[in-house]
Amino acid sequence: VFIKNLSMGKKGKVLTQRNIRFIAQQKVFFVATAAKTGTINLSPKGLDSLRVLNPSTIVWLNLTGSGNETAAHLMQTPRITLMMCAFEGAPQILRIYGNGATYNPSHSLFQEYYSLFSPNVGARQIIEIKVEMVQTSCGFGVPLMDFKNERTALNDWSNKLGAYEIETYQKKKNVRSLDGFKTDISETS
């Protein structure tokens, strides 16, 4: 069956209003980064952690987790890709290629961007993405799935630990990537 009005692929240099509406509807997005050598990281992200500031700038609230690959990779090369897939409604895949920068809580841009999100004790960094290319494709092979709700485990864990223990955890677990590259979180002396 031929499906009308669906593009098999388009490219642009900035996000369109249609892209921005699509992003706002997504419950999950994927982040890919790579250092100059070593492993490529691809991570699913969710919760209310992504904001489109304008057609060429996106910020993402990076929450404390078991690794910190994105920060380590962005310290070496700013390349970053975000991807979203329509799991409901019309099929579509949106990829956003750009340059990323990482801001820690001590950075003024962290404070500025953090104000766009609900407070979260697990907030680790803000990742700013400057869009260089936007690509859409059909998504015909992406399955249809129903969204139930957000998982609360990460926020529950962070809240249970509290700010001091989160910082201690970051200094133990988030200072080096899988390949041993430094992140922007200081190691414990």
pLDDT in tens, 57-72: 999 999 999 999 999 9
The mean pLDDT value for 17-30 works out to 97
Element (H, E) at 20: helix 17-25
Answer whether residue 3 shows pLDDT above 50.
Answer: no
pLDDT of residue 1: 39
Q: Which pairs with CB-CB distance under 8 Å and at least 24 residues apart come from 159-162?
A: 159/121, 161/121, 162/121
What is the chain's mean pLDDT, rounded? 93
pLDDT of residue 9: 82
Q: Give the whole-angstrom CA distance, residue 144 versus residue 71.
A: 32
104 burial (CB, 10 Å; 0-12 / 13-18 / 19+) is middle
pTM beyond 0.75: the answer is yes
The mean pLDDT value for 4-31 works out to 88
% of the chain residues with pLDDT over 70: 94
pLDDT bracket for residue 189 (50, 70, 90) = very low
Q: Give the whole-angstrom CA distance, residue 12 versus residue 138.
A: 15
pLDDT of residue 8: 63
Question: Does residue 123 contact residue 114 with C-beta atoms inside 8 Å?
Answer: yes
The mean pLDDT value for 88-117 works out to 96
